Structure 1
Amino acid sequence: MRRLLLALPFALLPLSLVYAHDDHDHEHGSLGAHEHGVAHLNVALDGNALELEFDSPAMNLVGFEHAATSATDKAKVAAVRAQFETPLALFGLNKAAGCSETDQDLQSPLFGDKPVHDEDGDAHDHEHSDINAHYKLECTTAAQLTRLDLAPLFKAFPATQKIQLQLVGPNGQKGVDLTPTHSAIDF
């Protein structure tokens, strides 16, 4: 399953090329760029296994990107981390699918994680902090998993205005931008 999620960007490469050449919306040209108001979500459904990988600028989620030093900022970071520790409350899945979390990995410099290094071993500049969440779920009745609704996530984090979603599922691959008014996609 991990290989499937890692292969997702390559499988959807033709979609990113279409986005990069879209004359109506140039901000898709760099799908991995740090852009306030925009988050990224990769979803892979393989049999009963579902993986979700979410990446967002911290600004969208906590309202700032600097290290939390005040009690108020620390409380915001803790509250957001607690929300992401319960993914089934943020990512709307059909309860009849019987999905339960088997693994999660939350990372951010705001959570005290060490800086990420690039291929050259250089630490990334952290004036732009991101929050990353990776979840593995097992769904007992995956056939009931027909739709993913991100309305709860948009409601919890109103500064998130767009989620660039890439999905690989039983009906093939899809790439779509979801917004608070268009927040769901079929598998």
Structure 2
Amino acid sequence: MRRLLLALPFALLPLAVAHAADEHDHDHDHEHGSLGAHEHGVGRLNAALDGQTLELELQSPAMNLVGFEHAATTDADKAKVAAVRTQLEKPLALFNLPKAAGCVVASQELESPLFGDKPDADDDHDEDAKDAHHHDHSEIHAHYRFTCATPGALKTLDLANIFNTFPATQKIQVQLIGPSGQQGVEVTAKAASLKF
């Protein structure tokens, strides 16, 4: 299943390239030229449903979730980071999965420099450039694996709670693999639901 999630961005690469050609990217990280550019207000979600296993991988600039990207030094900043981490540790509420699907959390991982995690060593930036640039562009990554007793009840994925919980998130670019194939869509607070 992990291979399936990792292959997802490559399977949808033509869609991302076509979308990028249609829309000039105004993010401040454009000099890196990567498809996963850091853009405030924009999150990314990879979702894969395979049998009874649902995997969701949410990536977002920390700015969208906590309101800043620097290391939390004040008590107020530390409290905000702790509160966001607590919210992210409740994925059943965050993703509003239908109760009829009988999904339970099988595993979850949260990673961010704000949580005290070290940045990935396999980034394609050298250390000096990463230190000079990365501290201003912290991201939060959340990876969830659910086991669903009745996966057929997962007709839609409703992301409204993410927009309600983290109002600085303006849109989420979703790449989804489900029983009806793969799709890439962009969801907003006004249209926060998509079909599997």
| Residue among 156, 167, 171 paired with 1:162 | 171
Corresponding residue of 1:48: 52
Q: Which secondary structure state, in structure 2, belongs to the residue aligned with residue 182 of structure 1?
A: coil
Aligned residues: 185
Q: What is the alpha-carbon distance in structure 2 between the residues aligned to residue 119 and residue 14 of structure 1? A: 22
Look up the match of 2:29: none
- SS of residue matched to 1:93: coil
**Residue 7 (structure 2) aligns with:** 7
Aligned equivalents of 1:151, 1:55: Cα separation in 2: 16
2:105 corresponds in structure 1 to: 101
The answer for the alignment partner of 2:25 in structure 1 is 27
TM-score after normalising by structure 1: 0.94
Report the RMSD for the aligned CA atoms in angstroms. 1.6
Q: CA offset at residue 181 of structure 1? A: 0.2
- 1:26 Cα shift? 2.2
Q: CA deviation at 1:14?
A: 1.7
Q: 1:38 aligns to what?
A: 42
**Percent of residue pairs identical:** 64
Q: Does 1:71 align with 2:69?
A: no
**Structure-2 change in CA distance of 1:17 and 1:166 (3 Å):** same
> Deviation of residue 13 (structure 1)?
1.2
Matched, 1:122 2:127: yes
Q: Which runs of 5+ in 2 are unaligned?
A: 27-32
Structure 2 length as normaliser, TM-score? 0.90
The structural deviation recorded for 1:37 is 0.3
> Bigger CA drift: 26-35 or 159-168?
26-35
Gaps spanning 5+ residues in structure 1: where? none
- Inter-partner Cα distance in structure 1 for 2:13 and 2:124: 21
SS in 2 for 1:21: helix
Question: Partner amino acid for 2:179?
Answer: P
- Residue pair 1:39, 1:56 contacting (<8 A) in 2 also: yes
